[in-house]
Structure 1
Amino acid sequence: MAKEQIVALCADDYGLSYGVSAGILEALDAGRITAVSALVNGPRWPAMGLELVRRGRDADIGLHFNLTLGRPLSSMPKFAPNGEFPPLSQVVRMAYGGRLPMDEIRVEIDRQFDRFEAVTDRPPDHVDGHQHIHVLPGIRTALLDAMAARRLGGRVWVRDAGDGVHRILARGANARKALSALSLASGFRREVRRRGFSVNDGFAGFSDFHPSFDYARIFQSYLRAPGRRHLIMCHPGHVDEDLRKLDTVTITREQELAFLLSSKLPEMLERRGLRLARLSQADRRPSAPQAAAAQ
């Protein structure tokens, strides 16, 4: 019998605002997502984090490491001189120009891990980055160093934002963004595995966040050419005033949430023979009694 194909569906930006967090909790309660990535540098994290722990027992809860949105948890006079993180474009230029103040970034990495664990009372199940900054040169190594120092090897999976070119082209939708992420993540998978951490195999979910798009149609493309440990990111949530102040991605979050809560998602998965699962449990072998019962 062929091995069942699994898909992990991860909701990003938990903790960004109350509305975004509440929407993700709705999807979580409905069993429509299997992972949540949390932003911990904002004021919403402590209270919303406790609620996530209470209701997220059937999902991987991870750190959405952030260097591009809001305020840092540590003093960063070189990286964030005005007290606000710089935009992604500036971080990318600094990373590839070898101009990142790595001393400040290493401290911020530890602060964000500490704040995550102070609320959840345990390490994250996975680690990724807001706007995929975790794959950038310098940042990736510092992040893996911090994880190794915390002895998270073999316990935590890391998001690989890149995928094979053939898979990206087979999906078609938003291929330019996917290829850009693949370029940024060059060598990332190899370095993560060398350091003793597992990664997803297959990645999709790129969007232009345009309100006129049919998210259900786009989501179908995410299911094409899935990897063995296929991961799809999504950005569901409710729009509130906090979100409008912090992010330009608003109405499409409600469109994504509506799709996740509809009957369309399970129907799509069933047609393709796919099953939602947690990547932290995807490779666990059944116990001897379970294996015997399956024969």
Structure 2
Amino acid sequence: MPRLILCSDDFAFSRGVSETIAGLASTGKINAISCMAVMPGWAADSALLDGLPDHVQIGLHLTLTDEVPLTWMPRLAPAGRLPAINPLGRMAARGRVALDEAAAEIAAQFDAFVAALGRPPAFVDGHQHVHALPGIRDIVLAETALRAPKAWIRNCTDRLTAMLARPFAGKAIGSAWHSRGLRRAAAAVGLATNDSFAGHYDFAGDYRVLFPCFLRKPGGTHLVMCHPGAGSRPGDAITAARSREAEALRNWSIADMAAIGGLAFPA
């Protein structure tokens, strides 16, 4: 039976986001958490992950955009802050990313994750899907194969018919385009990936209406990303969406919704 992985991104983005995500995991609403080990609150917030059910997978949300890096990056972050996703994407497409700096930063984020939790991540992905960018993906795959060989990698591709059956197909197709070849590259170094991927929207629509659509046409391991949270943080463009997602997830039986779509959801 196909299974649903409902993964909350951005743990440690802020205390309110972390507390919300940990609460949802403890009550069986999500079964995967992707952590921003780059954030200054990561070490303290990681304590919120203690005692969660065993089926909740804890992964690393590699962050190479917008935040302050853990390492000195004079070319990629000359002002002490990582670039936005669009400039980074253009640099990667043109082969102009300082890959030595990216490699050191990725290793440092792995170090921070392991230092806090005492174990490697169960999976690895990227904030704004940076892990799939040219050049960067090779570093991510090599580091994951070395440091967490049992982990799986987020694959943002899916079948065209599946993407067209869900809302915001254009965003999904864009993610899939940037991730093309990632599954094959991961397999080449012995790493698994999810089989299908959903959760794209504009962070403005009615999440209660949209979420069931994300469960359409799942693959064998169907990964759906979400971004619940609470409170606010300066510069966070999706503050309101985080609160709406959290409220919706709290009020649903995810297992029942998954079952309607023919998916198993461990909770």
TM-score band by shorter chain is: over 0.9
What's the counterpart of residue 131 of structure 2? 134
What's the counterpart of residue 112 of structure 1? 109
Instruction: Count matched residues.
Output: 267
Q: 1:277 to 1:138 in 2, by over 3 A?
A: farther
Q: Which runs of 5+ in 2 are unaligned?
A: none
For residue 264 of structure 1, report the CA deviation from its aligned partner: 5.3
What's the counterpart of residue 274 of structure 1? 263
Give the letter for the 1:22 counterpart: E
Aligned partner of residue 230 in structure 1, secondary structure:
strand
For residue 274 of structure 1, report the CA deviation from its aligned partner: 2.1
Q: Given the alignment, which residue of 173, 177, 200 partners 1:179?
A: 173
Give the letter for the 1:178 counterpart: A
The whole-number CA distance in structure 2 between the counterparts of 1:72 and 1:63 is 15
The whole-number CA distance in structure 2 between the counterparts of 1:56 and 1:15 is 19
Greater shift in the superposed pair: 115-124 or 50-59: 50-59
Aligned partner of residue 144 in structure 2, secondary structure:
helix
What's the counterpart of residue 91 of structure 1? 88
Q: 1:262 to 1:24 in 2, by over 3 A?
A: same
For residue 276 of structure 1, report the CA deviation from its aligned partner: 1.3
Q: Which runs of 5+ in 1 are unaligned?
A: 279-295
The whole-number CA distance in structure 1 between the counterparts of 2:27 and 2:51 is 15
For residue 47 of structure 1, report the CA deviation from its aligned partner: 0.8
Q: Given the alignment, which residue of 129, 138, 156 partners 1:161?
A: 156
Sequence identity (%): 39
The whole-number CA distance in structure 2 between the counterparts of 1:56 and 1:146 is 27
Q: Given the alignment, which residue of 131, 142, 146 partners 1:145?
A: 142
Paired residues of 1:78 and 1:101 also in contact (CA < 8 A): yes
Write the deviation string for residues 49-97 of structure 1: whole angstroms up to 9, x where unpaired. 1221333533110000000131000000000000001000010000010
The whole-number CA distance in structure 2 between the counterparts of 1:120 and 1:264 is 29
For residue 275 of structure 1, report the CA deviation from its aligned partner: 2.0
Between structure 1 and structure 2, the one with the greater Rg is 1
Paired residues of 2:254 and 2:265 also in contact (CA < 8 A): no
Give the letter for the 2:165 counterpart: A
Paired residues of 1:40 and 1:112 also in contact (CA < 8 A): yes
Q: Are 1:198 and 2:215 an aligned pair?
A: no
For residue 247 of structure 1, report the CA deviation from its aligned partner: 1.6
Write the deviation string for residues 234-279 of structure 1: whole angstroms up to 9, x where unpaired. 0011123xx2x1421101111111111113534422323322149x
The whole-number CA distance in structure 1 between the counterparts of 2:172 and 2:28 is 27
What's the counterpart of residue 288 of structure 1? none
Give the letter for the 2:187 counterpart: R
